[in-house]
Amino acid sequence: DAGADMVETNTFNATSIAQADYGCEALVWEINAESARLAREACAAVEALTPERPRFVIGTLGPTNRTASISPDVNNPGFRNVSFDELVQAYIEATEGLIEGGADLLMIETVFDTLNAKAALFALDDVFERRGARLPVMISGTITDKSGRTLSGQTAEAFWYSLRHSHPLSIGLNCALGAKDLRPHTDALAQIADCAVSIHPNAGLPN
């Protein structure tokens, strides 16, 4: 009703890794599929009123609550509480559900660790290859504070160069900073990216 052409699924934490905190790992495929189905249903209802204007469902893949690049223990910097392969398997399961539910494209969002995003991209390639069809992929990182870097230490430019090999539909930034503070980093992306650039700012950092 607000005029959006694209709507995201409510699946930010719908991976087995994130859902393990609640004992809901077994429900991950269903959560993703049902969320995509509901979003597709809402899009179809609006499209029926304005058939000349299609609406699209973005299947959302969040960052999980673990990081492949950073130790959760400051006293043991080499320790990791998740492996790359574990992330890949979690993203494969979520992606399968999103596609079955009717997602038109997929977005790896709120990326604070680029290695997590690479695991998601690896998972998407696996799913696409097995299905024999690809969906457009959007990528959106998050600048964690006014230093202008992600949690794993990358600038917006470095973030793009780390992921450009995946040829995304769009690259962008979301979460954390408000529109004013996020604008310079989005501008930096726009200067170098050879795809669309997106921006989904928060209301700003807490005072």
Contact call for residues 9 and 35 (beta carbons, < 8 A): yes
- Torsion-angle region of residue 132: left (phi > 0), alpha (psi -120 to 50) or beta? left
Look-up of token digits 């969320």? 35
Contact call for residues 181 and 202 (beta carbons, < 8 A): no
Q: What domains are defined for the chain? A: 6-200 (3.20.20.330)
pTM for this structure?
Answer: 0.93
CA pair distance 113, 109, nearest whole angstrom: 11
Q: Strand pairing partners for 107?
A: 60, 138
What is the structure's pLDDT at 189?
95
pLDDT digits (tens, 9 = 90+) for 45-92: 999 999 999 999 999 999 999 999 888 888 888 888 899 999 999 999
What is the structure's pLDDT at 62?
97
CA pair distance 95, 127, nearest whole angstrom: 7
Q: 88 — phi, psi (to 5°)?
A: -60, -50
Sheet holding 170-174, edge to edge: 6-8, 56-61, 105-111, 137-141, 170-174, 196-200
Q: 102 — phi, psi (to 5°)?
A: 115, 20
Which residues of the chain register pLDDT less than 50?
Answer: none
Nearest in space to 183 (alpha carbons), one of 152, 146, 158: 146
